[in-house]
């Protein structure tokens, strides 16, 4: 390379990109046959990877080879076999958009520095707001994930309902709520004990009567209830909390209703999802995770908020060193709406795939996952050796060996995962271990789900 290695020529850029593309295409083509969960790198690989960066230039091919070997030692989270936790597919066209956006490297934290690019990002955010029938004064945001979306919502709710009284602020989450809400409350300066964990009814949904009683008790005790955090698809089982009833309670107490739809919110794109999520449109804010249910690469979460002003109240701060940048009322300054200032141009990786493939392509994918979850539920329910207590609201199916203890369940999980053709995970519900099958990857289709069901049945033979 030249004496300006950080500014490669056109030929050099093409050659380097070609090498990276080769690695990526090879890795994507292998996803079907890759082992589901290799994660035991050799000591020599780990020691190669622990080297600090050298003073002198290295070789791209060698560095890519090291990257390839390191990638092989990982869960195949982007592949069809990944049925654990919550899958995230990572579609190719979104990766291309990411590459392009990073290369262009335009500043989109303020509208005036790149108004058309901010308009592009805002167009997908409006689309998300409208998906939930949110009003014109609503605002969407792209975050790095669901956790940061939940944090942003909790801070907005706390600012609106407990400014200056954070030591007395309380929030209400279901016992199956995602752990990021506890982190959010803590990061927002709230007392950890003031995160009220509300029990569930037998269908694993937040118990509205218990919630109402707890709210009344806390108010009487001089505490300041801020927010009910409902789940639109718990991570455990995909259960959807009773959203219309929770909206009514929030209205009655004059507090915020946040819906954590990081896993399930975007199922709103399907007819069945929209019916099951009814009431979500009454929320003050909804967390979405395009890196789960829109199959985008990790690093893409979203939040939609009913009132843009609630975000401005929480995050807008004038800064002297920004005085040259004019405000344009028709476009959002994202830095005034979130804790972030400089951010990657994340709009492109949502906008480009949606326009390129059309929303229908995503809708059909999500519909397929709902069909596959029903197939899994029906098949597992018909096996008398298994207990399958809850019909799936969305695309997570929970089951266990009937009449066996927790140790036997974990052993059963190990035998299934030893196939390396699928990866399932486990959880605890009411203290007992259950296995989960979570179907949400763009690359998981009927063939792999049927194979998973056969592996599950064979492993039950051996149990």
Please give the residue ranges that form the binding site for ligand PLP (CB under 6 A).
86, 145-147, 150, 178, 180, 231, 235, 260, 262-263, 289, 301
Residue 148 beta carbon to ligand PLP: minimum distance, rounded to whole angstroms: 7
Q: Three-state SS for 139?
A: strand
| Cβ nearer to ligand PLP, comparing 121 with 289 | 289
HSE at residue 454, side-chain half, CA atoms within 13 A, is: 8
Nearest to ligand PLP of 78, 455 (CB atom)? 78
Closest approach, Cβ 180 to ligand PLP, in A, equals 5
Rounded to an integer, what distance in angstroms lies between the CA atom of residue 366 and that of residue 372? 10
Residue 291 beta carbon to ligand PLP: minimum distance, rounded to whole angstroms: 6
**Least distance in Å: CB of 242 to ligand PLP?**
16
Cα–Cα dist 144/440, whole Å: 19
φ, ψ of residue 278 to 5 degrees: the values are -50, 135
Between residues 152 and 419, which has the closer beta carbon with respect to ligand PLP? 152
**What DSSP designation does 272 have?**
H
What are the structure tokens assigned to 363, written together?
């809708």
Closest residue by beta carbon to ligand PLP:
146
- 382 vs 400: CA distance, rounded Å: 13
Which residues are registered as beta bridge partners of 82? 423
Phi-psi region of 238 (alpha: psi -120 to 50; beta: other; left: phi over 0): left
Least distance between ligand PLP and beta carbon 88 (Å): 8
Tokens of 69: 């070997």
- CB nearer to ligand PLP: pick between 301 and 460: 301
Pairwise CA distance, residues 136 & 141, whole Å: 15
CA angle 303, 370, 451 (to 5 degrees): 125
Residue 276 is encoded by which pair of tokens? 């099951």
**Min CB(14)–ligand PLP separation in Å:** 34
Residue whose token pair is 């990276």: 20
Q: Give buried/exposed letters for 389-404 (b at 16+ CB in 10 A, else e).
A: ebebbbbbbbbbbeee
Nearer to ligand PLP, 150 or 307 (CB): 150
Measured CA to CA, the distance from residue 167 to residue 186 in angstroms comes to 11
Q: Could you please report the per-residue DSSP string of 24-93? A: HHHHHHTTTTS-SB-----HHHHHHHTPPPPSS---HHHHHHHHHHHHHSSB-TTSTTB-SSS-----HH
With respect to ligand PLP, which residue has the nearer C-beta, 178 or 443? 178
Least CB distance from residue 146 to ligand PLP, whole Å? 2
139 vs 147, beta carbon nearer ligand PLP: 147
* Minimum CB distance to ligand PLP, residue 269 (Å): 17
To ligand PLP, the closest distance from the beta carbon of 298 in angstroms equals 8
> Nearer Cβ to ligand PLP, position 370 or 459?
370
Nearer to ligand PLP, 118 or 297 (CB): 297
């Amino acid at each position: 390379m030249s004496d300006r290695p950080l500014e490669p020529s056109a030929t050099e850029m093409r050659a380097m990109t070609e090498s990276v593309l080769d690695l990526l295409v090879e890795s994507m083509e292998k996803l079907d046959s890759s082992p589901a969960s290799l994660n035991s790198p050799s000591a020599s690989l780990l020691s190669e990877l622990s080297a600090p960066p050298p003073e002198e230039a290295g070789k791209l091919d060698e560095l890519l080879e090291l990257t390839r070997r390191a990638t092989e030692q990982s869960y195949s989270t982007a592949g069809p076999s990944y049925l654990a936790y919550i899958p995230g597919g990572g579609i190719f066209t979104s990766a291309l958009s990411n590459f392009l956006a990073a290369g262009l490297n335009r500043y989109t934290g303020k509208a005036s520095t790149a108004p058309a690019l901010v308009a592009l990002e805002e167009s997908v955010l409006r689309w998300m707001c409208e998906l939930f029938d949110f009003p014109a004064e609503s605002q969407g945001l792209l975050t790095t994930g669901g956790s940061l979306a939940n944090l942003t919502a909790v801070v907005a709710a706390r600012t609106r309902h407990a400014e200056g009284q954070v030591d007395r602020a309380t929030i209400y989450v279901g016992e199956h709520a995602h752990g990021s809400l506890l982190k959010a409350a803590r990061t927002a300066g709230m007392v950890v004990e003031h995160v009220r964990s509300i029990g569930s009814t037998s269908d694993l949904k937040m118990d509205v009567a218990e919630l109402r009683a707890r709210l009344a008790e806390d108010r009487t005790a001089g505490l300041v209830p801020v927010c009910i955090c409902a789940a639109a698809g718990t991570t455990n089982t995909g259960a959807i909390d009773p959203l219309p009833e929770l909206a009514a309670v929030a209205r009655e107490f004059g507090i915020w209703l946040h819906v954590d739809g990081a896993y399930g919110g975007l199922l709103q794109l399907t007819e069945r999802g929209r019916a099951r999520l009814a009431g979500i449109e009454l929320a003050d804010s909804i967390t979405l995770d395009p890196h789960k249910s829109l199959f985008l690469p990790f690093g893409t979460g979203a939040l939609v908020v009913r009132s843009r002003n609630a975000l401005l109240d929480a995050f807008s701060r004038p800064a002297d060193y920004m005085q040259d940048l004019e405000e344009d009322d028709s476009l959002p300054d994202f830095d005034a709406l979130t804790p972030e200032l400089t951010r990657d141009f994340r709009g492109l990786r949502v906008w480009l795939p949606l326009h390129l493939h059309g929303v229908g392509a995503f809708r059909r994918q999500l519909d397929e996952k709902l069909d596959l979850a029903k197939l899994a539920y029906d098949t597992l329910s018909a096996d008398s050796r298994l207990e399958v207590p809850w019909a799936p609201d969305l695309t997570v199916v929970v089951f266990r060996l009937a009449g066996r203890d927790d140790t036997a369940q974990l052993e059963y999980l190990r035998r299934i995962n030893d196939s390396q053709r699928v990866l399932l995970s486990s959880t605890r519900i009411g203290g007992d271990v259950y296995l989960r099958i979570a179907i949400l990857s763009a690359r998981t289709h009927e063939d792999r789900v049927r194979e998973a069901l056969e592996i599950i049945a064979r492993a039950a033979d051996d149990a």
